[in-house]
Amino acid sequence: MLINNDTIIKDNDPFIREKSMPVELPLSDEDRALLQDLYNYVKDSTDPEKAEKFNLRPAVGISAIQVGVPKQLTAVIVPTLDKDGNEITAEFMLANPKIVSQSVQPAYLDSGEGCLSVEGEHEGHVVRSARIKVRAYDAITDQEIEIRARGYLAIVLQHEIDHFSGTLFYDKIDHDDPYKEIPGALVI
């Protein structure tokens, strides 16, 4: 499937608000190929030459609904730290990811969130959980996995999983006070 900035569904299209359905496991060849295309988009979008050549906006994640497929499929590639503080890259091609637990502590990106489906500016704090646990099937490792995520990775996973219910990041901004102080929040 061709995925670029022209083919990604934008937030002015009501389809982006559709609910995504779980996929059957084991993955069909069609679902596996779509997950691979989503992953390739994210990977290629961070390469300046490929991004310019193929009209890709930089991304750390993308979900199937954004390319017109209402299925619970998402790919993420996020720079993060391991438990010892070493830089690593978390890479997942997830089917049916579910948040099974989350911290009470809130978190938000100080610079705000962005989305491939949102071209306009939507400033403000997008408050999410600082830590989450996600269960999913990962096509990279070809098994059911449990992800314990904190900080930026947790925010990215919550953002992508929100797409499955038709929720966009700016739905979570307090429009009366977009930059209100969030007591105890992890600011990233």
Catalytically active residues, by annotation: 160
Single out the residue of 62, 45, 154, 43 nearest to residue 117, CA to CA.
Answer: 62
Q: Which two tokens stand for residue 114?
A: 């962005």
Geometric angle at alpha carbon 62, from 80 and 103, rounded to 5°: 50
If you write DSSP's letter for every residue of 51-114 in order, what string do you get?
A: HHHHT----SEEEGGGGT--BSEEEEEEEEE-TTS-EEEEEEEEEEEEEEEE-SSEEE-TT---
Burial 29-66 (b: 16+ CB within 10 A, else e): eebbebbebbbebbebbeeeeebeeeebeebbbbbbbb
